[in-house]
Amino acid sequence: MILLALSLAAAAAPCKTLDTNLPRDLSGWTRAGHTLDTGHAVTLPDNNHVSETRITIRKEGIFGIAADQGAWIDVYPLGRGRAFDMASESKGPYCSTIEKIVRYRLKPGTYRVVVTRVKGPDVKLMLVHSGASNSRTGNHHEVLRRYRRHR
């Protein structure tokens, strides 16, 4: 019983520093860049609660877009078309300023990223490569099952 209480107290301890122990694929979160890509984050200005940018995908796979707030993130084909269905959504790592990560299965090409319900003067985003779409994590149901199990 005492061990349980100690583990709960340790788990609820507030963070002393943020963004210092990020996983490898999110390590670029603290580096500023000019475009939405892996390896660095980009800050986009709010335009009436909406921000928009483009991403270019070179290799097919599951890609996440990390955000510093709970804004809605949609990925569209260039030109006309509906937003893609997301593969999964998860919270950012503990003790980080990443609030959420939305993942999509994407093929090589250029896409529009539209962020709505932006709160504040800007939104910080980073592209995260989550693996090949034909890997075990590429299975839509497997990704969602893992997400639900770890919530």
Mind listing the pLDDT tens digit for each residue in 14-40?
899 999 999 999 999 999 999 999 999
* pLDDT of 106: 97
Record: fold of 19-150:
Jelly Rolls (2.60.120)
pLDDT above 80 (res 9): no
Query: pLDDT tens for residues 91-139?
Result: 999 999 999 999 999 999 999 999 999 999 999 999 999 865 443 333 4
Query: pTM above the 0.85 mark?
Result: no
Q: What is the DSSP string of 110-122?
A: EEEEEEES--SSE
d(CA 66, CA 129): 11
* pLDDT of 146: 41
d(CA 3, CA 24): 31
pLDDT above 70 (res 58): yes
* pLDDT of 130: 85
The DSSP bridge pattern shows strands 61-67 and 100-106 to be antiparallel
First to last CA, the chain: 24
Better pLDDT: 10 or 151: 10
